Chains A and B, each alone.
Chain A
């Protein structure tokens, strides 16, 4: 294990894109872990009067020219003749930015009257929309952060389960041989033959369309993990077969160790290097698959959030032009996928020096 770790470190040291990717991913996953704290608002915290609000303008100077802690003003809209929203800022008061406020990293303080004004009653709704709002006035940044918990973890968990299945299937086939081997390998080939999208559709069709939204996450992982195990199982089986026949194992058996123990303690660890590279390369595929499913309305649905779900709102082209910030989840998605790809690529080169660089 240790030499693998060292090799990993040297890969990062040598390869700049991989290094950047590593830190990007670290940032994304940390953000996902701390999302409820990092996000200014809860996922379904609506402010319907601010529906489709553009990203908040941060001011530092008040109406009289004085300097202040960065603040935002309350916004409201009216419809023009083309039924487009026209936004106006309420300059009677300001809402200062506040750190570590009310259980969140960032938030807004109480309304403070502007020079020569009084805070109106009722107090206007001051909202911090760093990346804009959606149709119901929910903060997009908060939803992206909260959605990352689903999108990023589904990839990792899905790959983990896939790998586990592949290990079991490949292990049994490689070790047992005989008819078990043939049956399992035929099964793998059949599953690999179905193009991923159609396999997704097939699995989705087998499940009821009206999921309890809580159960959705679980089901989607199940479906996704069904995608990748077959190819991996085949390779693992080959690796285990060759290990089985190697001298190393013959020697162990001569010493009287049981086959399972050999498999567990010696054969499998040899595959870890390969497996980690495979996993890293597969994760992006799972992230994209979940986003795609949710985009089609077959995956995560409101009120749960995932990046694919957020992009579903952007699917109406009319919306994109009026509210271009709805495409931002795609940027995050792209960043995550690109980072995993670059990292995986560097790892693969590192673990297999024969591949073309």
Chain B
């Protein structure tokens, strides 16, 4: 199960407060909620196990599976529309300038240890944790426009005011992505030390949050046991305390394969069904008493990215071999690689036909923000050869492609070892590129090691990677801005190294500084077009998003934006 962090879900409207339980939206009708009965247990799986329980610092789905149950923020996101809906804040207002937001907390809020939550905790979390540059927080990078962050202060114990330096389109949704932590517990641990706070060996009682569940026990590498948070604020329409479920078990699995086996054995209750498992899972619906739903293309992206990093390491040695760097920075080369890849084969062979073409960086499931005018990315060897010719690459009579300086084109393709479908896809890609005369050496690396290489040592040529996505374009900003942490091909640049990256920076800025959706859409449409032009990432397509959940659970309403078990507090066991 990999949940998209709720923060990435929202579309961008400056909205005033109202309950959005029954709104139609981007991806289908919302169901009306049933009244459930308390009790029961839900067993989930999480791939890989958490690296940390720190909700501010965590950055992988393996950690957010755990963290998302314990902590929550001022607003939540509607799983169908992506619009923000009240969370810890029951309402919010914005003034006429569009730069001052007041969030009104619900009265009587408590952390899961019973201590009261007030505006001070909100201010503490934002000013001392999120905005502290010594702390690795992805949301800060998103919220910092031109390096300036909002000013946060408590107007009274139940009201928090945010003063923004500039208009920020998706501000309310962004707010929801920051879970509120306890000032009393953490005021002694700010600064650099916070990066390692709330690690996986933290005693469960210390993980003080406002989510529907709290951690009762974590058995390293094996599972986490969560119990109902008795102080959770939400109630159902009849006034019963939520969550309905007594316990949630998150079982750590090695890989997708074990997760499927566990689901088939009845040991877990929910499974994100990947296309290669669909033919095996679907026939078991009757016997296993579950339902498989097809929900459209995933929001996630699968792509190849080239290492365009021009920096040198502390010893003065360039991170990337200059010979290869020249190829990777050449748009003709990148486009040729893209034209050579047989995406239909990926769809039919790896995904059993369950998928659709990508046309650029956004998925069709992003709805309104998706640029539907861009043509799909497909294979065309003639175009590939034309691009290679334009770049001065020559295919020798020995079948080896050489660059203008005569170097044979050869590079290493990495992906993570745990993902069987990526390995198969990489095999197909490798073979496709041999038709251009390119020699690709494919290697699998363990996931954490891969992330280290991408983030820290930059020891890679080409990587096949996936990124979870959401619908709100600005929340992917870290990928597009040249100073971004997840600007995978050349992260954390001091100034943009190319004109098109400079254009991306300005488009991201334009997109976020407006409230007018047509202005924003124009910026993001152009962003998608530029990325498709320059192909720093070669997109391979979207598998179909499908889930399987046991029928005995009520209020289950999977969406691509929310995942299978969004609003987990509403889920109950049917008698």
Q: Which residues of A come within 8 Å of B, CB atoms?
A: 44, 46, 48, 51, 79, 82-85, 135-136, 209-213, 297, 301-303, 315-318, 321-322
Contacts and interface: CB of A to CB of B under 8 A. Distances in A.
Contact of A83 (B279, B349, B412, B428): B279
A212 B442 contact: no
Nearest to A321: B280
Contacts of A135: 349-350, 424
B342 interface: yes
A209 B280 contact: no
Given A83-B278, A212-B441, 6 more contacts: A136-B428, A210-B412, A211-B443, A316-B276, A317-B257, A321-B280
Contacts of A84: 279, 352
Contacts of A316: 257, 276, 420
A84 B445 CA distance: 31
Contact of B342 (A48, A85, A210): A48
Contact of B282 (A82, A297, A302, A315): A82
Interface string B32-52: 000000000000000000000
Most chain A CB inside 10 Å of its own CB: which residue of B261, B342, B430, B431 = B431
A295 to B, nearest CB: 13
Q: Which 10 A-B pairs have the closest CB atoms?
A: A210-B443, A79-B353, A318-B280, A83-B352, A83-B278, A48-B345, A51-B349, A84-B279, A82-B282, A83-B279
Interface in B227-272: 257, 260-261
Interface string B338-381: 00001001001110111000000000000000000000000000
B496 interface: no
Interface residues of B, number: 33
Contact of A318 (B276, B424, B428, B442): B276
A297 B444 contact: yes
A79 B352 contact: yes
Contacts, number: 67
A333 B261 CA distance: 27
Contacts of A48: 342, 345, 348-349
B283 interface: yes
B151 interface: no
Contacts of B353: 79, 83
Most chain B CB inside 10 Å of its own CB: which residue of A83, A135, A302 = A83
B427 A136 contact: yes
B321 interface: no
Contacts of B282: 82-83
Most chain B CB inside 10 Å of its own CB: which residue of A211, A302, A322 = A302
A195 to B, nearest CB: 22
Contacts of B424: 135
Contacts of B412: 210
Most chain B CB inside 10 Å of its own CB: which residue of A210, A213, A302, A322 = A210
A136 B278 contact: no
Most chain B CB inside 10 Å of its own CB: which residue of A44, A79, A316, A322 = A316
B431 A46 contact: yes
B275 interface: yes
A321 B280 CA distance: 9
B414 interface: yes
B279 A297 contact: no
Contacts of B354: 83
B417 interface: yes
B277 interface: yes
B55 to A, nearest CB: 32
B349 A317 contact: no
Contact of B442 (A44, A46, A136, A302): A302
B473 to A, nearest CB: 31
A316 B418 CA distance: 12
Interface in B418-467: 420, 424, 427-428, 430-431, 441-445
Nearest to B260: A318
A211 B428 CA distance: 19
Given A83-B353, A210-B445, A318 B277 contact: yes
Contacts of A85: 352
B342 to A, nearest CB: 7
B532 to A, nearest CB: 25
Contacts of B444: 209, 297
A209 B430 contact: no
